[in-house]
Amino acid sequence: MTAPNQPDRLPTYFVSHGGGPWPWIKDLMPGDMGKLEKSLQDIPRELGVTPRAILAVSGHWEESEFTVQTNPHPPMLYDYGGFPDFTYRIQYPAPGAPDVAARVGQLLDEAGIPTRYDAQRGYDHGVFAPFFVMYPDADVPILQLSLRSGYDPAAHLAAGRALAPLRDEGVLIVGSGFSYHNLRNFGPRAAHDSKAFGDWLTEAVVEVSPQERTQRLLRWDTAPSARAAHPAEDHLVPLMVAVGAAEDEAGVRIYHEPDFMGSVDSSSYRFGALPGRAGARA
């Protein structure tokens, strides 16, 4: 269980990270990326403190067991296709955080959660795209934690619970995914399903009690348009880790766009109070 909020405790976040290398090709993307960009830029400003490190859980890394990135200088992983040649030479040279990786492994081990380590893994675009917007100087260390195959909500909530002490140690926990992720239905047809699921998701993580929030997330696939919004829930499960690490604390929607890229209802959320504002919702 997470202890009552402390003034210097960091909240957790779930961010909708956009598509591919979008910060470098905003003029080529359908629709205006400005609202998403501003929402990400606002996170460091609202925190008011620079994290010691960021633990990122990206929808683009999945392993059979939770796996921790230990590389002190992670390379780039261009896990997208069909974009201009220069986007395969983008560099975001944020340092890794092997010391925090060891602490992550310790906490998961103490919780009885099997854990592996990967010294080669680079930053995928679920990390380097949003964090380039948030911290363009690449001066905050970042490490990734993989998803676990099968996408069991309970397992990812449990991982978040185990990692909650990091919030008192200056580590910002960020789930990076998308509130709607159906690439085969990305266009005008997405409007209904993304809104139906998005309305449910915001109610589930913001409007109900933290206890009820957990129960609803465990049953997320019964929500309206759930499987139309997430045929595979790789971009939703990072939310579970962020919620688990702040399970007894309120959530707030920090970004909402009903027509992202012209048609998709898209949201991001924060869980827990901002540093120095214990008990506050915003």
Quote the Cα angle for 130-151-210, to 5°: 75
User: Does a structural domain hold residue 86?
Assistant: yes
CATH code for position 87 = 3.40.830.10
User: Does a structural domain hold residue 221?
Assistant: yes
Report the DSSP beta bridge partners of residue 172.
Answer: 54
pLDDT at 178 over 60: yes
Binned at pLDDT 50, 70 and 90, residue 191 comes out as confident
pLDDT at 221 over 60: yes
pLDDT greater at residue 216 or residue 19? 216
Residue type, 35: K
Report the DSSP beta bridge partners of residue 268.
Answer: 255
Q: Give the model's pLDDT for residue 59.
A: 97
Lowest mean pLDDT of 16-30, 79-93, 232-246, name the range: 16-30
Q: Give the model's pLDDT for residue 188.
A: 78
Looking at the 3D structure of the chain, how many domains does it have? 1
Dig out the tokens for 127 from the structure.
């990390």
User: Does a structural domain hold residue 6?
Assistant: no
Measured distance CA(180)–CA(226) in Å, rounded: 9
Binned at pLDDT 50, 70 and 90, residue 278 comes out as low
Give the mean pLDDT of 39-53. Answer: 97
Q: Give the model's pLDDT for residue 279.
A: 45
CB 249 within 8 A of CB 255: no
pLDDT at 186 over 80: no
Q: Give the model's pLDDT for residue 6.
A: 55
Measured distance CA(96)–CA(143) in Å, rounded: 5
pLDDT at 134 over 80: yes
Q: Is 282 helix (H, G, I), strand (E, B) or coil?
A: coil
User: Does a structural domain hold residue 17?
Assistant: yes
Q: Give the model's pLDDT for residue 7.
A: 57
Dig out the tokens for 208 from the structure.
């109900």
Phi first, then psi, for residue 132 (nearest 5°) are: -60, -40
Q: pTM for this structure?
A: 0.94
Find all residues with CB under 8 Å of 222, minimum gap 6, and list them: none
Q: Where does residue 128 rank: exposed (0-12), middle (13-18), buried (19+ CB within 10 A)?
A: buried
Measured distance CA(199)–CA(22) in Å, rounded: 25
Binned at pLDDT 50, 70 and 90, residue 8 comes out as confident
Binned at pLDDT 50, 70 and 90, residue 122 comes out as very high
Give the mean pLDDT of 33-42. Answer: 96
User: Does a structural domain hold residue 151?
Assistant: yes
Give the mean pLDDT of 54-81. Answer: 98
Q: Give the model's pLDDT for residue 41.
A: 98
Measured distance CA(187)–CA(206) in Å, rounded: 27
pLDDT at 226 over 50: yes
User: Which single residue is written with the structure tokens 């399970």?
Assistant: 247
pLDDT at 141 over 80: yes
DSSP sequence for 137-162? T--S-EEEB-EETT--HHHHHHHHHH
Give the mean pLDDT of 100-113. Answer: 98
Q: Which domain holds residue 147?
A: 12-271
pLDDT at 44 over 90: yes
